[in-house]
Structure 1
Amino acid sequence: MNRRTKLILSLCCLLCAAPAQADIYAREDGEGTLHLTDAPVGDGYELLLESRSAGAQASAGRAIARPAAAAAHQQRIARVADRTGVEAGLLNAVIAVESAYNPKALSPKGAAGLMQLMPATARRYGVTDRFDPDQNLLGGALYLRDLMARFDNQLELALAAYNAGEGAVERHGRRVPPFAETLRYVPKVLDHYRSLR
């Protein structure tokens, strides 16, 4: 990964991500797709951003800037929010945590695009190209809307289901599953969401 790419990624992570609570690693595959994760699997990942101290996290959490990557998607986010009834602030919070506004993001588990849709979720909502920002955003927003309805508008549970799957939330008594990733994910999204309101 070249120095320019590292610099761009570092800036995106610093400006888009919630206050870092885990190291962030990056890998660029042979097709030029960037993979960001806090839990690297396999070879080729480089440490991109180290966790901040608790004091730095607290001060950074007070203001989350919207870089050019976020600004580039605001019109489509507003359109999808109007169409689905899912608040634009919530969509922004999920996108910031899921992909840092990278429409080409691909997770080690196979989630793709702005809202990191898994293949089955994409099919369920008619998304034929998970890397198309408009399709991905609409599919993710519809999924979030359905999760909110399923879990009686309890945002924590809907977000937990978005991350771990609705079955996992049901199996754990309609509570946030005790998975390390999900226990980090839900507060990150909620922190972003609150900062945008």
Structure 2
Amino acid sequence: MDKMTSRSKVDSIKDPLSLTAGYVDEKPQPRTLTNDYPLKPSASVPSKQRIKASYSDNGIVSDLGVEKRKVYQYKQTNGVMVFSDVQPQGDDYQVLLYECFACRVDSVIDWYKIPLFTSPFAADVALAARQYQLDPALIRAVIHAESAFKMGALSKAGAKGLMQLMPATASDMGVDDPFNAQQNIRGGSRYLAQLLSQFNGDIDLACAAYNAGPTTVMQYRGIPPYPETQAYVKRVKILLKRYQKALAS
């Protein structure tokens, strides 16, 4: 959500999908990766026992049309976990393969053809739409653009759940558990309705504010000149029209 101001979403939303990577002698843990995490080359660290990663590499693009990225994970001597797209020196790293749901501006995903989610969370979306006087298609478009309808989606900026609520925004919207679908949809819809009211019903500006923050939109008096925000607005608008058509049929 608000990645660049009160919502603290510094970059684009990104609808990350998580892929469970296998670890030797450890329980697999779901992980997510979005481009709001700066990938940087790493400095060498003392060598230790190498942990072998296991994953299913089915190609650059999965059957869902989701791009895959190879990421090197390692722990610095100070205990901080690092994720990098550059192979670190030494042998103490893990190779992870993430499915990144449209996390790049130049994503190869065709938003005009990607499958829609017209049924999941039907009651929660309908309730939020009535309560906040929103088009259900808009709620679904935002959820799709944010998380691809993954309840456990978590960005490196800290945005959580279906509508990618930052902790501060979740608190402001009365959401105790952002990974609870009903609470998340209610809170995200409430926030979206507030942005639409603030920007006089302009969906483009409301979506830009949902991504970059209302203060940034007001500062630029329009959609901010951030490629990720501009791509996000276009993405939501494409999905909105498709969901409107699909839900009307």
TM-score, structure 2 as length reference = 0.59
Please give the alpha-carbon distance, in whole angstroms, between the structure 2 residues aligned to 1:31 and 1:83. Answer: 39
> What is the DSSP-based 3-state SS (H/G/I as helix, E as strand, rest coil) of the residue aligned with 1:32?
strand
Contact 1:33 1:105 in 2 (8 A): no
Gaps in structure 1 of 5+ consecutive residues: 1-21
CA-CA distance at 1:116 after TM superposition? 0.2
Aligned to 1:32: 29
Please give the alpha-carbon distance, in whole angstroms, between the structure 1 residues aligned to 2:228 and 2:17. Answer: 15
Choose between structure 1 and 2: higher strand proportion.
Answer: 2
Aligned to 2:233: 186
Aligned to 1:114: 162
Is the counterpart of residue 85 in structure 1 residue 133 in structure 2? yes
Matched residues, percent identical? 34
Please give the alpha-carbon distance, in whole angstroms, between the structure 1 residues aligned to 2:209 and 2:96. Answer: 28
Please give the alpha-carbon distance, in whole angstroms, between the structure 1 residues aligned to 2:17 and 2:121. Answer: 24
AA aligned opposite 1:46:
L
Is the counterpart of residue 153 in structure 1 residue 204 in structure 2? no
AA aligned opposite 2:115:
A
Aligned to 2:116: 66
Residues 88 and 28 of structure 1: is their aligned pair in 2 closer, same or farther, counting only changes over 3 Å?
same
Q: How many pairs are equivalent?
A: 166
Residues 83 and 116 of structure 1: is their aligned pair in 2 closer, same or farther, counting only changes over 3 Å?
same
CA-CA distance at 1:138 after TM superposition? 0.4
Residues 28 and 181 of structure 1: is their aligned pair in 2 closer, same or farther, counting only changes over 3 Å?
farther
Q: Residue by residue, what CA displacement relative to the aligned partner does 1:63-106 show, whole Å, maximum 9, x if unpaired? A: 45335xx5231221111111111111000000001000001100
Contact 2:152 2:160 in 1 (8 A): yes
Is the counterpart of residue 138 in structure 1 residue 186 in structure 2? yes
Aligned to 2:152: 104
Contact 2:17 2:147 in 1 (8 A): no
Residues 81 and 25 of structure 1: is their aligned pair in 2 closer, same or farther, counting only changes over 3 Å?
closer
CA-CA distance at 1:123 after TM superposition? 0.8
Residues 25 and 37 of structure 1: is their aligned pair in 2 closer, same or farther, counting only changes over 3 Å?
farther
Is the counterpart of residue 46 in structure 1 residue 80 in structure 2? no
Q: Which has the larger radius of gyration?
A: 2
Contact 2:32 2:98 in 1 (8 A): no
TM-score, structure 1 as length reference = 0.74
Please give the alpha-carbon distance, in whole angstroms, between the structure 2 residues aligned to 1:127 and 1:26. Answer: 23
Gaps in structure 2 of 5+ consecutive residues: 1-13, 22-26, 40-82, 84-94, 245-249
Task: Please tell me the root mean square deviation across aligned C-alpha atoms, in Å.
Answer: 2.7
Please give the alpha-carbon distance, in whole angstroms, between the structure 2 residues aligned to 1:31 and 1:119. Answer: 26
AA aligned opposite 1:65:
P
Q: Residue by residue, what CA displacement relative to the aligned partner does 1:31-52 show, whole Å, maximum 9, x if unpaired? A: 8344252555452653536943
AA aligned opposite 1:134:
Q
Aligned to 2:11: none
Greater Cα shift, 120-129 or 38-47: 38-47
Higher relative contact order (CA 8 A, sep 6+): 2
